Structure 1
Amino acid sequence: MRHILVFAKTPHAKTPYDRWLAGTGIVPVIVTAHEYADGYAHLPHVYAFADYDTNQLVEKTALRLAREFAVEAVFARAEADVVRAAQLRELLGLPGQHTASALAFRDKVVMKDHLAGGPVEIPAYRKLDSAYTAVEFVAEHGYPVVVKPVSESGSLGTRVIRDEADLDACLAAPWRGSSEIEVFIPGQMYHVDGLVLGGEVAFVHPFRYLNDCLSFRDDDWVANLPLTPQDPLYDRLVKAAQAVLAELPTPPQTAFHSEFWITPDDRLVFCEIASRTGGGMISSMVRHAFGIDLDKEWLYGECGLPPTLGTPSYRPAGALCIPPQSGVLEQLPTGETGAERPECIREEALTGAAGREYHGGVKSGLFLAGYVVDGDTEEEVAANLERVAGWFSDNTRWRRLSAPAPAPAGGTA
């Protein structure tokens, strides 16, 4: 029996590793977070941890298991696991992404150091090691600037600094960890997602955001929509993503999620890239739109199994992620509400429950409700995404924490 160690920071419903590997003779050894453990409980080798992202017993246990089961490969699809998986592979001499590559795809300063002077424009940037650096950078480049953690995902911790008051607030309450500062790039953001197998790009496609990846800051929804090959930006974005992959120490098997701006004066500017599948509902959208499960194909690549993606077909589809509001969730638009579910919904993921208290959006990839929506054309999909967002808002009820108790009927408070 062959074994692969899997860092599984996703629910089993999203990543059913045992079903994907059925019939291959490969058994997954699962290391996961407590909140996902029940979904994998039917498997023979499951090890769950609290405080998964920062608990270093995860690494200690993974090393023991990798040796005990003589694993042939290590698989990790979550941003929090990219470096720990790479370090484990390197320590054990296993194939796949090693530490230098992982850091180039995870640390935004290391990433841009690789790309500086290359074929794709990048923003002016510096590692933010002190307040002096921030003051000097602003003096050189002016406002606005952006301060972001070097190794977080989903725009977590990203701050747009527009004036001196914003800068003072940022310096008074800095992000705990390494940060970078870069010039603010105006424009529309796009992302390019794909798959590298055997050192070659096996799938690549560009998408546009409806709203943007910082919409969660305003507790607003964000959506993703594929570009058609006829779109004038299609080839530019694909070539830019391929150029970035060529400049970086790209592993031979990986999914990737990259982001670019198109500025008002039509410049294409690099934002960032990750060696993993995109967050939110992106993987689900790709599966519905192209018939490809990026995570499954990536897993097969890591295991040395032949790909099953074939020749991708295409049907219009989009992804929608809706963050929580601030308050107590009293009602979701389920069948019990009597709200008619829009017929364009092809997949739904609800991560919350009535009675729970929330404090607004946390990061762009985390959501209260996620949907894959289809339509006959890209324009119809875009309209359906907005329609589903409106339907969800109309049929979801919140109780604001600051709201006073209602007055008794027939009287006054």
Structure 2
Amino acid sequence: MRHVLIFAKSPYGKTPYDKWLAGCGIEPIIVASSEHVEGYAHLEHVYGFDDYETNQLVEKTALRLARAHAVVAVFARAETDVLRAARLRELLGLPGQHTASALAFRDKVVMKDHLAGGPVELPAYRRLDCAYTALEFIAEHGYPVVIKPVAESGSLGTAVIRDEAELDAYLARPWPGDSEIESFVPGEMYHIDGLVANGETVFLQPSRYINSALSFRTNDWVASVPLAPGEPAYNRLIEVSHAIVARLPTPLNTVIHLEVWITPDDRLVFCEIASRTGGGIIGSMIRHAFGVDLDKEWLRLECGLPSALDAHVYRPAAGLSIPPSHGVLERLPVGEEPEGILEASLSGAVGQEFHGGVKSGAFLAGYIVGAPAHEDLVPRLEKVAAWFYERTLWRPVGSPAAGR
């Protein structure tokens, strides 16, 4: 029996690795966060860790297991595991993404350095090491600017600074660590999700964000709607995606999640790219809309197995993510479910305390919404969002529950 070591920062229901590998002679060894380890407990090799993202025993255990079982591959689908997995592959001499490539897809400054002078316009940017650098950058480029961690996902820690008062408030906070400052880009944001197999991009799909990737800041919903091939931006986004992937040190087998702005004056401007599946509800949306399970295909490719990807047909479907509000969750929507919900995922429970949205990929409720025609998707998304907000009940933290 051969083995693949998997860094698992997702629930079993979302990533049933053993089912994806069934019958191929490769068995998964799971290194997981404590919150998800129970779902994988039926497997022979499962190891769980508290403080998964920062616990260095994860690396130590992974190296020991990989050597003990002579694994044929290392797989990681979460942003926090990209570098962790790349370094382990290097230590073991295994194929797949190594550190230089992982940094190009994870560090927002490194990736832009690779793309500078290339096929897509970049915002002005600089690595931010101290307040003096921020002041120099603003003096050169003006407001507004965006400050973000170089290696976080889902807009976590991102701040839009529009004037000196907001800059002073930002600088008065504890310094966030390795960050980037860049000029603010107005416009609509699109994301492009794809699969690279044996060095060839075999699937690529652009989608438009409804609302904003930063909507979680105001506890508002965000949705992803695939673009149809006839829509004006479709071909432009496909072409620039191919060019970006070709310019970066892209692994032979990977999933990509790319974000690009289209400005009010119709310029394409690069935001960022990751060598992993899009967060939140995006992977499920791609699966419902195109019949392509990006994580499953990627895992099989990493293990040297043939891709099962067939010609895909678009079935109108979109993904809706609703962040939590501030307070204690008293009631979730029940009954009279709006038309079109194909899949629902709830990450909270009644009685749980929340403090608003944390990042764009983290949601209280996620829905895949289908429609008979592409043009019906946005109205249906709006109806589902309205239904959820109308039927969800919150109470302030510290106040008594209803009926007491």
Aligned to 1:282: 282
* Structure 1 residues 355-412: Cα deviation after superposition (integer angstroms, max 9, x where no partner): 010000000000001000000122211111111111111111100227699999xxxx
Deviation at 1:171, TM superposition (A): 1.2
Aligned to 2:341: 345
C-alpha separation in 2, matches of 1:404 and 1:142: 48
Aligned to 1:364: 360
Contact 1:211 1:223 in 2 (8 A): yes
Give 1:364's aligned amino acid. S
Unpaired runs of 5+ in structure 1?
409-413
C-alpha separation in 1, matches of 2:346 and 2:399: 26
C-alpha separation in 2, matches of 1:407 and 1:105: 51
Aligned to 1:298: 298
SS of residue paired to 1:220: coil
Aligned to 2:386: 390
Q: Percent identity?
A: 68
Aligned to 2:88: 88
Aligned to 1:33: 33
C-alpha separation in 2, matches of 1:404 and 1:291: 46
Which has the higher mean CA deviation after the structures are superposed, 377-386 or 5-14?
Answer: 377-386
Q: Pairwise mapping of residues 1-400 of structure 1 onto structure 2 (< 5 A)?
A: 1-334=1-334, 339-400=335-396
Contact 1:149 1:175 in 2 (8 A): no
Give 1:226's aligned amino acid. P
Contact 2:104 2:114 in 1 (8 A): yes
* Structure 1 residues 94-133: Cα deviation after superposition (integer angstroms, max 9, x where no partner): 0000000000000000011101111110100000011110
Q: TM-score, normalization: structure 2?
A: 0.98
Unpaired runs of 5+ in structure 2?
none
Give 2:367's aligned amino acid. Y
Give 2:289's aligned amino acid. A
C-alpha separation in 1, matches of 2:307 and 2:272: 27
SS of residue paired to 1:389: helix
C-alpha separation in 1, matches of 2:158 and 2:244: 22
Q: TM-score, normalization: structure 1?
A: 0.96
Aligned to 1:411: none
SS of residue paired to 2:29: strand
Contact 1:374 1:381 in 2 (8 A): yes
Contact 2:330 2:401 in 1 (8 A): no
C-alpha separation in 2, matches of 1:406 and 1:26: 52
SS of residue paired to 2:4: strand
Deviation at 1:343, TM superposition (A): 2.8
Give 1:242's aligned amino acid. H
Deviation at 1:146, TM superposition (A): 0.3
Deviation at 1:304, TM superposition (A): 0.7
C-alpha separation in 2, matches of 1:114 and 1:281: 29
SS of residue paired to 2:27: strand
C-alpha separation in 2, matches of 1:5 and 1:164: 49
Give 1:401's aligned amino acid. V
C-alpha separation in 2, matches of 1:130 and 1:325: 33
Give 1:365's aligned amino acid. G
Q: How many residues align?
A: 404
